[in-house]
Amino acid sequence: MKIHSKLPNVGTTIFTVMSDLATEYNAVNLGQGFPDYEMSGELIALVNEAMKKGFNQYVPMQGYLPLREALSEKIQSLYNTVTDPNTQITITPGGTYAIYTALTTILQPGDEVIIFEPAYDSYVPTVKINGAVPVLIDLEFPGYKIDWNKVRQKISPKTRAIMLNSPHNPTGSVLSANDMHELRSIVKDKNIFICSDEVYEHLVFDGIPHQSILRYPDLLEKSFVCFSFGKVFHCTGWKLGYCVSSPELTKEFRKVHQFNCFSCNSPMQVALAKFLSDKNSYLPLSSFMQKKRDHFIKLMKATKFQLLNSSGSYFICGTYHDISDESDKDFSIRITKEYGVTPIPVSVFYQAGTDNKVVRFCFAKKEETLEAAVERLATIS
Ligand SMILES: Cc1ncc(COP(=O)(O)O)c(C=O)c1O
């Protein structure tokens, strides 16, 4: 049997490679983005309760209504935007799935999608699987900000979508109000969609407001805004998220969704509906994660790494110019083997492998995990 691969150049992801290496060398794994601390006991109890109460069969294709209602209330209270839970919110099995479904909903072969690099690894393959063409723009190093003039230059009659991600993986950069202003002026009166990956929604630091598309009703008209419960509630293995869009776009989104997943895990949706009714389930998340970032930054002063700015997400990047001039991949592999700490080389987030000698660390870890990692990193000379 012969298969004509849709993704001929895709191999095993670096996350798998580095995690395998971390296990083999018993290294502290600050590579992959998952918490190693306990999630909320209350949320676990609510899932148990939902299962015991018999919420174990399919919920509607769009998602459990009380959960969509709770999300709509949250959106109104945070962003002052009214959304209809019936026609604008769809529960999905994770953020990545929501992005995949959104892009599959709108893309035709030959369409162009603007993607900023470094980029989360699913965007380019998702565009390609749909026969569309990624148009890549580098974020400005080392601040990882968008140069909107470059965006204007890359817009063509074939541009169908712009992919956004704030807070940003791998760099922790966040979009500003001015970025949103630029975006609005660029897409105004154009048939260009926006797919906004906001899976780190509540994890923005230093009092900076999260610039969600949901703040801007004119942008929401042309956007799919994708979220992840797993990322914000420290349970990445749950793979549950949602997509918010306009009623017209949601209708098309659900046509794709209903023949793929159809309906998501029921007891977790029931539990989340109750959990979200208390604002304390999400309002303290920023300061919780900021403490971890700040602790990591403080510890890292004992090392030769120069950390870059991180204003959100699970991640902070660092350069290692004072240690070595190896490629970021070789360096990451070597410190895993020799020093027992695993980062992710940032070049893997660029299609061209752009190597600014930067590695990414995940600080969504227990204090003792961060301390054990930095104790080892401090011995690198
Ligand atoms: C930017 C970004 N989007 C999406 C995801 C995945 O979210 P989920 O696990 O809900 O699919 C991740 C996970 O690392 C991510 O970093």
Query: How would DSSP label each residue in 154-197?
Result: H--TTEEEEEEESSPTTT-----HHHHHHHHHHHTTS--EEEEE
Cα(189) to centroid of ligand 1, in Å? 30
Residue nearest to atom 14 of ligand 1 (CA): 33
Q: Is the CB of 169 under 6 A from ligand 1?
A: yes
The position carrying tokens 């895709």 is 10
Residue in 19, 101, 228 to alter for ligand 1 test, most ligand atoms within 8 A of Cβ: 228
Atom of ligand 1 nearest to the CA of 165: 1
**93 CB near ligand 1 (under 6 Å):** no
Q: From the alpha carbon of 314, which atom of ligand 1 is closest? A: 16
CA–centroid distance, residue 361 to ligand 1 (Å) = 16
Q: Classify 189 in phi/psi space as left (phi over 0), alpha (psi -120 to 50) or beta.
A: left
- Which one of 32, 126, 165, 169 would you pick to mutate in the ligand 1 pocket, going by the greatest count of ligand atoms within 8 A of its CB? 169
Q: Ligand 1 pocket, 222 CB below 6 A?
A: no
Site to substitute for ligand 1 among 168, 231, 315, 361, most atoms within 8 A of C-beta: 231
pTM over 0.95: yes
Long-range pairs, 273-282, Cβ under 8 A, ≥24: 273/64, 273/66, 273/67, 273/69, 273/70, 274/46, 275/40, 275/42, 275/43, 275/46, 275/233, 276/67, 276/70, 276/71, 276/74, 277/70, 279/77, 281/40, 281/43, 281/233, 282/74, 282/202, 282/232
Spatial contact of 220 and 214, defined as CB atoms under 8 Å apart: yes
Nearest to 171 by CA among 57, 319, 23, 64: 319
**Cβ within 8 Å of residue 138, ≥6 positions away:** 116, 117, 350, 354
Strand, helix or coil at 232?
Answer: helix
DSSP 209: P
First to last CA, the chain: 53
- Give residue 335 CA to ligand 1 midpoint distance, Å: 26
Ordered per-residue pLDDT tens for the chain, 381 residues: 999 999 998 888 888 899 999 999 999 999 989 999 999 999 999 999 999 999 999 999 999 999 999 999 999 999 999 999 999 999 999 999 999 999 999 999 999 999 999 999 999 999 999 999 999 999 999 999 999 999 999 999 999 999 999 999 999 999 999 999 999 999 999 999 999 999 999 999 999 999 999 999 999 999 999 999 999 999 999 999 999 999 999 999 999 999 999 999 999 999 999 999 999 999 999 999 999 999 999 999 999 999 999 999 999 999 999 999 999 999 999 999 999 999 999 999 999 999 999 999 999 999 999 999 999 999 998
For 43-48, which contacts have Cβ atoms below 8 Å and span 24 or more sequence positions?
43/233, 43/235, 43/271, 43/272, 43/275, 43/281, 46/270, 46/271, 46/272, 46/274, 46/275, 47/267, 47/268, 47/270, 47/271
Say how far apart CA 264 and CA 281 lie, in whole Å: 21
Query: Which residues are registered as beta bridge partners of 341?
Result: 28
- Taking CA 116 as the corner, what is the angle to CA 110 and CA 117, rounded to the nearest 5 degrees? 115
312 lines ligand 1 (CB under 6 A): no
Which residue's C-alpha comes closest to atom 7 of ligand 1? 95
Q: How many CB atoms lie within 10 A of CB 327?
A: 14
CA pair distance 318, 299, nearest whole angstrom? 13
